[in-house]
Amino acid sequence: MTAIPPEHDPPEPNVDRPTPPPEALPDPPVPPRPNIHVSALIIWLTIFPLVAIFSTLLGPMMPDWHPVVRAFVLTLIVVPIAAYWLMPQMFRWYATFARYRAARRAGRGVR
């Protein structure tokens, strides 16, 4: 039988800040999921500027390229930027806006 070294003892509880009881903190209002039309608008607001910007920037570099190859290169750049960075951010912004609206409606008693 080996003794447990003191550095492996369970950590001491944080006594500086007491945790409030769970019933003291109300749950924030949960925003509804965006409907199909709002989702389409968010996606369009994400994709259109990227396509416009990158086609303007890359157009002079590939004027003689076949349109399919040009579209392929453009989508290789635009889709990852939109899917992994901008669209999640846009949906987070929408969720923040929807939570704000839900809280205001809950405060006024409006459904």
Q: Give the 3-state secondary structure of 59-87.
A: HHHCCCCCHHHHHHHHHHHHHHHHHHHHH
Question: Phi and psi for 20 in degrees, rounded to 5?
Answer: -70, 155
pLDDT in tens, the chain (111 residues): 566 565 666 666 666 666 666 666 666 666 668 899 999 999 999 999 999 999 999 999 998 999 999 999 999 999 999 999 999 999 999 998 988 888 888 877 655
H helices then E strands: how many in the chain? Answer: 3, 0
Q: What is the pTM of this model?
A: 0.63
- Annotated domain spans of the chain: 34-105
CB atoms under 10 Å from CB of 46, counted, come to 21
